Every structure is written in structure tokens, then in C-alpha cells.
Structure 1
């Protein structure tokens, strides 16, 4: 049986508050510019707090070594590649949050649990590369539309 490809589309109702809390625009030119210039360091602890993921663990999931993280805390800004990884993680967390209709604990638990639809990998471990990130978003899209993963 072929599983139809469903692109994840975030619901509009839940979108605004999350992005405001972490200090990033959700989409558009302003986001693109911020990612290119590097997001401010403050986005990182906010993202950790909103997601309920410890900061050291978040650094591992987005593949930012602790020494690099210390340098970024001093400089106040992440590099473009690191900013993109942080955004991908935020987008994955937001997608899971939408899947669980705003239930932060449910979203976090789902991200931390090995998933058969991802070959037994945990979704939270799949934000460091764009291919893995897209795989998780596609899975969320299928789950939202009732297509078995």
C-alpha cells in the first residue's frame, strides 16, 4: 500500500504564541534575515524553557558543542548554520506541539520516544540535518491526517 506524501502544514491557531515566546518570527523575510545574520543567543535558553528540554540536551540535539555554545553566549549571537539548526528544532517542537493540540508534555514525550515510523529513532534526534528534519515533519503530517506511520 502506498502512503500518500503529506507535507506538514502548521495550524494557524496555535502558531503565534510559540514563536513570540522564543523570540523568532515563524516565517518570512525577517526570519530569513535573522537566520543569515545569526539569531541572538537568548533564543537558545528560551527554546529550552518552552520545550522543557534541558539546555545541555538541546545543544546535543542541535549538534552544537558545549565549547561553541560558551563562545556564542559570550558573543551574543549564533552563526548561520547553528541558527538554522535551532530553527529546525523549534519547527519540529512546534509541529509536535500542534499535533498534540498545545500539550507541551505530550509533544515532548512524543519527541523523546523511539518511533517505528522513523525506524525506531527518536524524533528529537532528527533535527540536526534537513533530510531528517523533513522526515519527522512528513511523519507528523501523516499522523495529523490519520495515515498510518
Structure 2
């Protein structure tokens, strides 16, 4: 499994369904320098950044 697939699965868990996860994953974020979470998650370092943001969201912190 690659980093993007891992992030997609984690986002689905955080948002509760695929549609909401896809919306979050495909919208540019200030936290990622205007890039989308999917763009950032292509590398291991980027995957870790996106994973950390999803963990914040799962605990109620907005990003």
C-alpha cells in the first residue's frame, strides 16, 4: 500500500465516509502551502504531515 492509499483510509476513518474524506483530501490547504493533502502525501515526509493533520482533526482541532 502506498502513502496516498494510507492517507485515504485514515481520512475516511476521521470523516466517517469516503465522500467527505475525498473533499478534504482534494482541497488546497494553507497548512500544506496551498497544496492538497493528496499532493503532499506522495512522499514519506508529506505523508507524515498529512497524517498529523488528520490526527489533529480526529481530536477536534481544525486545520
**Aligning the two structures, in what range does the TM-score lie when normalised by the shorter sequence?**
0.7 to 0.9
1:14 corresponding residue in structure 2: none
Question: What's the TM-score once normalised by structure 1's chain length?
Answer: 0.39
SS in 1 for 2:41: coil
Aligned partners of 2:62 and 2:26: how far apart in 1?
20
1:143 corresponding residue in structure 2: 57
- Whether 1:106 aligns to 2:20 is yes
More helix by share: 2
Kindly indicate whether structure 1 or structure 2 has the higher relative contact order, using CA contacts under 8 Å at least 6 residues apart: 2
- Per-residue deviation at 1:88? 1.0
- Gap runs ≥5 in structure 1: 1-85
**8 A contact 2:12–2:21 mirrored in 1:** yes
The number of equivalent residue pairs is: 63
- Per-residue deviation at 1:116? 2.0
**8 A contact 2:32–2:40 mirrored in 1:** no
Aligned partners of 1:140 and 1:121: how far apart in 2?
15
